Amino acid sequence: MKHFTLSQIAQACGGAYVGDEKLKETAVSSIERDSRNIKQNSLFLAIPGTRVDGHDFIEKCYEDGAICALCEKPPVNPVKPYILVDSTLTAVKKIAKAYRELFDIPVIGISGSVGKTSTKEMISSVLAQKFKVHKTQGNLNNELGVPLTLFGMDDDTEVAVIEMGISDFGEMTRLSEMAQPTIEVITIIGDCHLENLGDRDGVFRAKTEMFDNLRIGGTVVLNGDDEKLSKVSSVKGNAPIFYGLHNGAYRAENIKNNGVLGVEADLLFEGSRVHVTIPAIGTYMVSNALAAAAVGRTLGLTDDEIKRGVEAYKTVGSRANLIDTGKIKIIDDCYNANPTSVRASLDTLMNFEGRRVAILGDMKELGENELELHLETGRYAQCCDLVIAVGPLAEKLAEGAGGLHFNTKEELFSQLPSLINEGDVVLVKASHSMQFEKITEELRTL
């Protein structure tokens, strides 16, 4: 970490420092929410949870080397300093904002209904050709994850790429207040979190809350193929940079999807034509590469650096990850799902040769129109040779697709060997809570 003292931390969050005054100017080595990650001179965040209360681990963290605890109630045995606050979670956000302000570097804030993580990884891969990049790890993209991501910035970090995920109004304001992006990227406005956001207009309003916290002189990069984003004419007096397969200053030609061999395209921008082969499946990856090219060029990267970065991209986790078992190919895309992302995954499936099978499940948080949205998604899935839908909401999906329906994964497992043939290409996708990774594992054993 940069030099960040207990005194600075207490001042940032308005907390009451209790303990040895001589230790107030001690710099913390890290800020941790997990007691298992405590190092010498760490600050431990005592966060109360539904199952575990971090306050119960303060004494153990002191023993393991923590210099201080941030807490809502005094430790039972305060052998070291603590900072007392009304809400640990609220205090953490204030501390994260103060820590980010110690850095005078480009910070790229990324959001969108689909493609946040793959775009974050693509941008990071491109920028890594020139800079030391710090990026969001895993799913640390919410109101606790973003602070933890910011705390992970080392003193020599040259660029930070921060993913920001939301499900309600006001969240993006709080996330962007902490991150204070110098470049903001929004990938797409889709049908997600409609339970809270109502409709796509609500999604647009919630996502674009980030504009208010764009740093002066900053740049906004938007998907010009998105009907709502394409209407943004100015942010803080500056026109956005648009990218897209069809619309934008950053666009693509000669797109060729080669299935397992990746996606080829010519990226066109600012008079350049850069031919790339993206080592991933899905034509939408070309759009991600264009976003990365726009960010890269904004930060002064050459055509060659952009090309190298795009071609060095690596897929993360269960996001359009291709698994070849020798008998079948599995498109493991079960990290999450909404109608927009399912359509994109179905488009990817259609680029493969062979019998195309889609195993789809419930899409959560879609609000009052959830059944109609499942039905519409099912109709889109009629392009497949076979659609297998799993879950109570997915019954409507099966109806729209004219496919098979199973109430539970266990019901499916007993029938799976008879449904899947050698040579099939199988897409697996549903909301994360459906635990479709178990279906992926079952398919591996066939």
DSSP assignment letter at 10 = H
C-beta neighbour count of 418 within 10 angstroms: 7
Q: What is the pLDDT of residues 257-281, one digit of tens each?
A: 887 788 999 999 999 999 999 998 8
Domain stop point among 88, 113, 147: 88
Q: 353 and 292, same structural domain?
A: no
Q: What is the CATH number of the domain that holds 374?
A: 3.90.190.20
**With contact defined as beta carbons under 8 Å apart, do 306 and 292 qualify?**
yes
Q: Which helix (H) or strand (E) holds 183?
A: strand 183-186
Domain-embedded: residue 191: yes
Q: What's the domain count of the chain?
A: 3
Q: For the residues 198-205, what does the mean pLDDT come to?
A: 94
DSSP 393-438: THHHHHHHHT-EEESSHHHHHHHHHHH--TT-EEEEE--GGG-THH
pLDDT at residue 378, rounded to an integer: 96
Q: 201 and 77, same structural domain?
A: no
Instruction: Count CA atoms within 13 Å of residue 206 on its CB side.
Output: 26
Q: What is the pLDDT of residues 363-415, one digit of tens each?
A: 998 988 999 999 999 999 999 999 999 999 999 999 999 999 999 999 999 99
Closest CA to 82 of 13, 12, 11, 19: 19
Q: 28 and 123, same structural domain?
A: no
Q: 368 and 288, same structural domain?
A: no
Residue 152 gets the label, from left (phi > 0), alpha (psi -120 to 50) or beta, of: alpha
Q: What is the pLDDT of residues 213-258, one digit of tens each?
A: 999 999 999 999 999 999 999 999 999 999 999 999 999 999 998 8
Q: What are phi and psi of 330, to 5 degrees?
A: -115, 125
**With contact defined as beta carbons under 8 Å apart, do 338 and 190 qualify?**
yes
Label the pairing between strands 386-390 and 321-324.
Answer: unpaired
Range of the domain at 422: 321-444
Confidence band (pLDDT; 50, 70, 90) for 317?
low
Q: 348 and 209, same structural domain?
A: no
**With contact defined as beta carbons under 8 Å apart, do 393 and 422 qualify?**
no
d(CA 163, CA 139): 9
Q: 49 and 161, same structural domain?
A: no
Q: 337 and 294, same structural domain?
A: no
Domain-embedded: residue 96: no
Q: What is the CATH number of the domain that holds 15?
A: 3.40.1390.10
Confidence band (pLDDT; 50, 70, 90) for 50?
confident
Domain-embedded: residue 377: yes
d(CA 243, CA 122): 14
C-beta neighbour count of 386 within 10 angstroms: 19
DSSP assignment letter at 365 = S
Q: For the residues 152-175, what does the mean pLDDT come to?
A: 97
Q: 109 and 78, same structural domain?
A: no
Percent of the chain with pLDDT over 90: 87
pLDDT at residue 319, rounded to an integer: 62
DSSP 59-81: HHHHHTT-SEEEESS--SS-SS-
| pLDDT above 60: residue 318 | no
